[in-house]
């Protein structure tokens, strides 16, 4: 049967862009549809604009730290509108670059939301297109619980579009998105309250990482309401601002805010996609895929956050390229989802690769060794700031193989990226011990832990 395209990709985010260009490089006729700005969550409303705001928020303490190094005291001022305008300009520049990359690769870009009609047909607007293979790369979206007044909250999508800086900012949720925005707004001078369901932020991360970041956030002036009953929250719009009534145990707390970020989770963005028309199975709201990213419809594949495997940009890119290599390059390869490094761009920053201590002990029992160090980085010695870094190695005792590496502190993501290679290669504690460190640096602590 003859089709309009060899491959039709739904969604021009990280996974869709990577797979479409790679498939086209093998000579496939490829089209991609996007109903928003090209670039997806990462470029438009995620990693990129968020990291730019992280950079902006870091400057606030540097003015004070500089005094310890002999610089005279200054009274800095911050312009929210200038920041968000500059961030938006950069986002649109990157989006335009990605469009150019598609054109250069020979991929046809269609503007509009695509919907599956059947296993080989998609509909974009009033146009029907056929394709031999279809790739779904529609990403995820923020969710909101059904509680009174939730319509007055914003999600991470709207954070970059606020016209004014909220002086009183509340974050609902203790995941990495909530933590990062709490630190950003705190660094920019807002009064921040973070409300979480448990007693610690960042569920799923190592306990030392969770505790150290939370304590540092408190030290930096962020207020926490712990063990809140999120499903019983009430939000009311008043003349004085947004009023939150928060049940905590047997009492209720009241918090006033100018803006409330709802960061209570994300889900695959599958609404109105027409999966049922193509016989594609989902479980718990995510597309079911095999190791090769194929769905229950053999000619339809899915990568990235819509499969809810590991929801990280580099993972979506890797899955997309592996799909193209396998299907169009005839070079079968599959992505391992083990030992994928991740970072939280909080203040202080954190990053991890491999197992947490709890995961290691659950799998290996007593056959686990833990090496940990906490110290004040040299940078903070002259400003005399009480800021700590933490480095941690988790080892399988019998083989001395490194199971996990964790860090809290400046440039943690940059350090752990290198550590991820060692973990992936099966490095041991002896390998680390035999490595001479770079002095003076925080990273050298990993090779001197005893």
Catalytic annotation, residues: 439
**C-alpha–C-alpha distance, residues 252 and 244, integer Å:** 10
Tokens in use for 374?
Answer: 């906490």
**C-alpha–C-alpha distance, residues 34 and 13, integer Å:** 8
Residue keyed to tokens 């004014």: 164
> First-to-last CA distance in the chain?
65
Any bridge partners for residue 92, and if so which? none
DSSP 71: P
DSSP 383: T
Tokens in use for 306?
Answer: 């819509």
- Half-sphere exposure in the Cβ direction for 27 (13 Å, CA): 2
Residue keyed to tokens 């964790």: 406
SS3 assignment, position 67: helix
Q: Which of 183, 154, 170, 157 is closest to 56 using CA atoms?
A: 183
DSSP 154: B
Q: Rounded to the nearest 5°, which phi and psi values hold at 385?
A: -100, 135
Pairing of strands 266-268, 140-142: antiparallel
Q: Is the dihedral of CA 37, 171, 185, 189 positive or negative?
A: positive
């Amino acid at each position: 049967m003859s089709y309009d395209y060899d491959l039709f990709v739904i969604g021009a985010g990280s996974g869709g862009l990577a797979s479409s260009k790679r498939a086209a490089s093998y000579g496939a006729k490829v089209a991609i549809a996007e109903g928003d700005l090209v670039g997806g969550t990462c470029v438009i409303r995620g990693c990129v604009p968020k990291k730019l705001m992280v950079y902006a928020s870091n400057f606030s303490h540097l003015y004070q730290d500089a005094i310890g190094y002999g610089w005279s005291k200054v009274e800095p001022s911050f312009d929210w509108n200038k920041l968000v305008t500059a961030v938006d300009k950069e986002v649109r520049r990157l989006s335009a670059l990605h469009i150019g990359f598609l054109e250069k690769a020979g991929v046809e870009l269609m503007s509009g939301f695509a919907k599956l009609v059947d296993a080989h047909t998609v509909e974009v607007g009033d146009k029907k297109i056929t394709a031999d293979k279809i790739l779904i790369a529609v990403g995820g979206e923020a969710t909101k619980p059904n509680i009174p007044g939730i319509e007055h909250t914003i999600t991470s999508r709207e954070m970059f579009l606020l016209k004014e800086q909220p002086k009183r900012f509340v974050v609902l949720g203790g995941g990495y998105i909530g933590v990062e925005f709490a630190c950003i707004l705190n660094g920019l001078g807002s009064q921040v309250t973070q409300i979480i369901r448990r007693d610690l932020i960042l569920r799923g991360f190592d306990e030392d990482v969770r505790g150290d970041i939370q304590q540092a956030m408190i030290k930096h002036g962020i207020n926490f309401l712990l063990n809140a009953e999120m499903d019983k929250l009430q939000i009311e719009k008043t003349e004085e601002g947004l009023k939150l009534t928060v049940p905590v145990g047997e009492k209720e707390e009241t918090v006033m805010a100018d803006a409330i970020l709802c960061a209570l989770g994300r889900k695959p963005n599958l609404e109105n996609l027409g999966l049922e028309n193509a016989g594609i199975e989902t479980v718990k709201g995510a597309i079911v895929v095999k190791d090769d990213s194929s769905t229950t419809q053999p000619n339809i594949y899915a990568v990235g956050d819509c499969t809810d495997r590991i929801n990280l940009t580099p993972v979506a890119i890797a899955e997309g390229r592996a799909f193209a290599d396998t299907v169009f390059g005839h070079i079968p390869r599959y992505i391992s989802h083990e030992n994928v490094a991740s970072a939280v761009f909080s203040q202080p920053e954190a990053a991890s690769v491999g197992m947490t201590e709890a995961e290691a002990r659950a799998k290996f029992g007593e056959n686990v060794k833990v090496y940990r160090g906490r110290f004040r980085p040299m940078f903070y010695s002259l400003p005399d700031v009480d800021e700590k870094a933490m480095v941690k190695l988790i080892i399988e005792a019998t083989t001395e193989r490194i199971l996990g590496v964790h860090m809290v502190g400046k440039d943690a993501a940059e350090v752990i990226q290198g550590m991820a290679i060692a973990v992936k290669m099966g490095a041991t504690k002896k390998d680390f011990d035999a490595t001479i460190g770079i002095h003076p640096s925080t990273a050298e602590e990993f090779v001197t832990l005893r």
